[in-house]
Amino acid sequence: MKIRRIQATPINLRLEAPYAWVFGELDGFSPTIVEVETEDGLIGLGEAPTPAAAAIINDNLAARLIGRDAFNIAGAEEVCLPYWTGVQSINDRSRIMAFGAIEMALWDLRGKAWKQPLYQLLGGAVRKDIPFTDYFSLRGEGPGVKGEKTPEQVADYCVQLHETHGTTFFEGKFSTQDPKLSLKMVELIRQKLGDDAMIRIDSNQAYSLATARRLVRPLEELGVRNWEDPVTTIEEMRELRRHCSIPFSTHNIDIARAMEIKVPDAFVGNPTVHGGIGRMLRFVGACEHAGIDFWCYSGDSGVGSAAYLHLCAALGWIREPNQSLFRMLPMDVIEEGPFSPKNNVVRVPEGHGLGVALSRENLAACHRDFIENGPCNKYHDPAKPGTYRRLPLN
């Protein structure tokens, strides 16, 4: 089965309302949707979490792969990426993520050609109901959405999610300049939802080591399940470990270093960041050997999220809930999306390959948004537009 066409389309995936995080206000994401078409007319789908992947694919990688065997994923990597140790030393990982999106599409093609869901190609399912957290943060206003401006409103939003969707797994931004505001959010969520609610927090490296130390005791007393990137460096995280029993997670996927200095306790990743599904399978296997947890992060469209679902179905070591922003997405580029967790879980798709179909209308609308407005600016600071915040905040 030969590859006939590869097309990468950068899009804007807007949130229903912008949420507050360490660098300001984030109103959406700008991933790249990839289509790999074979001479038989099958189309495999993939996704990279950066718009930079589009030019790399359209201007370079596509030409390397046209006419090649769509099932030969190892051969595709050989002509697209340098030796892995060398490629990981490159600061700009866009080429890795660009190939990872193509590789995802090649797996989708395998499933479609062999008429099997992706999880079957990965060895079968150890679970089919995949757990996810629902997200909370202070939020601005969006079309028809007022947003949550105070800790009390954030807590009420979480109560609404619990009452409407059965949510008891939560994760949220804990990165306000005054950490007392973030602490108040967690206190109220715990007060309103009780001990049965799982609460994870993400500080995105907001705080100095001194500030993080002061936050440890109240967060431990509130039963926080996990604290993502509380401080700026892994070395500071190691020092914080001396004062804190809460597990730490990070997006920094240096497993050798983590084994050496004994932090973090978990990696939060994405298949394309590793170079594709095959590379992620090996990485999660290494995590299991090292006793380091792994789960998937949020911000992808339904294409990338479908890949998460299949990987989590097949890999028993992904035990903790994945992050999700499903509830905050008013639209998606797949016909089936956005996914909607019920009682904390989403069912893995049973269709062939990823099991999702591209919405041509929504893809065109999201691409038009990107062309007309440029990529989403996740560093927008509403207090000082046109500037960039410096860390730590406190």
**Segments making up each domain of the chain, as ranges:** 2-115, 120-360
List 25's β-bridge partners, or say none: 20, 380
**CA distance between the termini of the chain:** 56
What the block records as the tokens of 18 is: 């912008």
Q: How many Å apart are CA 9 and CA 26, to the nearest integer?
A: 21
Instruction: Give pLDDT, residue 337.
Output: 84
Q: What is the DSSP string of 146-188?
A: ----SHHHHHHHHHHHHHHH---EEEEE---SSHHHHHHHHHH
CA pair distance 228, 295, nearest whole angstrom: 12
| Contact yes or no for 102/274 (Cβ under 8 A) | no
Could you list the mean pLDDT of each consecutive 10-residue stretch along the chain, which spans 394 residues? 97 97 96 98 98 97 98 97 68 88 98 98 98 98 95 98 98 97 98 98 97 98 98 96 97 92 96 95 96 96 98 97 97 95 98 98 98 96 92 91
Antiparallel, parallel or unpaired: β 169-173 and 134-136: parallel
Q: Any idea which architecture 120-360 has in CATH?
A: Alpha-Beta Barrel (3.20)
DSSP annotation of 80 reads H
pLDDT at 321 (0 to 100): 98
Going by C-alpha positions, the residue among 263, 284, 262, 280 that lies closest to residue 271 is 280
The encoded tokens of residue 239 equal 């020092």
- The pLDDT value recorded for residue 329 is 97
CA gap 101, 103 in Å, rounded: 5
Q: Give me the pLDDT at residue 83, please.
A: 73
Structure tokens at 192: 């309103």
Which is it for the CA torsion 229, 235, 241, 244, positive or negative? negative
Strand partners, 29: 13
**Angle (CA) 149 208 140, round 5°:** 15
CA distance 13 to 185: 27
The CA-atom distances, in angstroms, between 290 and each of 91, 225, 286 are 25, 20, 6
- What tokens appear for 20 in the block? 């507050």
Residue closest to 10 by CA, chosen among 47, 38, 43, 60: 47
- Do 2-115 and 120-360 come out as alike in CATH topology? no
CB neighbours of residue 317 within 10 Å? 17
Helix %, strand %, coil % of the chain (to 5): 40, 20, 40
Q: Could you give the CA distance from residue 297 to residue 189 in angstroms, rounded to a whole number? A: 22
Tokens of 11: 């899009």
> pTM of this prediction?
0.96
pLDDT of residue 243: 93
Residue range 2-115 in CATH 3.30.980.10: no
